[in-house]
Amino acid sequence: MREDNCIFCKLANGEIPSATIYEDEDFRVFLDLNPATKGHALIVPKEHYANLFELDEELCKKVMVLAKKLGRRMKEKLGCDGLNLVQNNGEAAGQTVFHFHLHLIPRYKEDGAGISWKPGSLTPETREELLSLLAED
């Protein structure tokens, strides 16, 4: 399924040209237009899924295998020192394009990309609350 007004549907299916570094029957991987670092790319399924919650289970598995393959290629060819996988779901999480995508962000020592958060602390009360809500019985 594709959505008429979705820019990533058009990019993933080649309706709009993109700087593609990989393509197969399920995914296109192209360079981000506003990269966090040199080589920042997006793995985008050709079918439209708004986010991780909608993404087909088989594609969930394939996307991580592909991230590993391309991450290794980035290490070899770009000489990056590390790699961030970023995947935003929902506006509150920073998602701006509502077609599932996984960011591959090569990291270089002192690149200043600043993908981080302010560490909080886990109180005993919150820990217990979270365990009762989230842990399996």
Q: How far is the CB of 100 from Zn ion (least distance, A)?
A: 8
Q: How far is the CB of 12 from Zn ion (least distance, A)?
A: 7
Query: Rounded CA gap, 103 and 41, in Å?
Result: 6
| Contact yes or no for 119/69 (Cβ under 8 A) | no
Q: How far is the CB of 9 from Zn ion (least distance, A)?
A: 3
The catalytic residue among 40, 48, 99, 101 is 101
The question of whether 48 is a catalytic residue gets the answer no
Complex with Zn ion: residue 54 or 81, whichever CB lies closer? 54
Closest CA to 82 of 70, 74, 90, 93: 74
Chain positions 88 to 107 lying near Zn ion, rule: CB under 5 A, are: 99
Sheet holding 27-31, edge to edge: 20-23, 27-31, 41-45, 102-107, 82-86
Residues that bind Zn ion (CB under 5 A): 3, 6, 8-9, 48, 99
Active site residues: 101
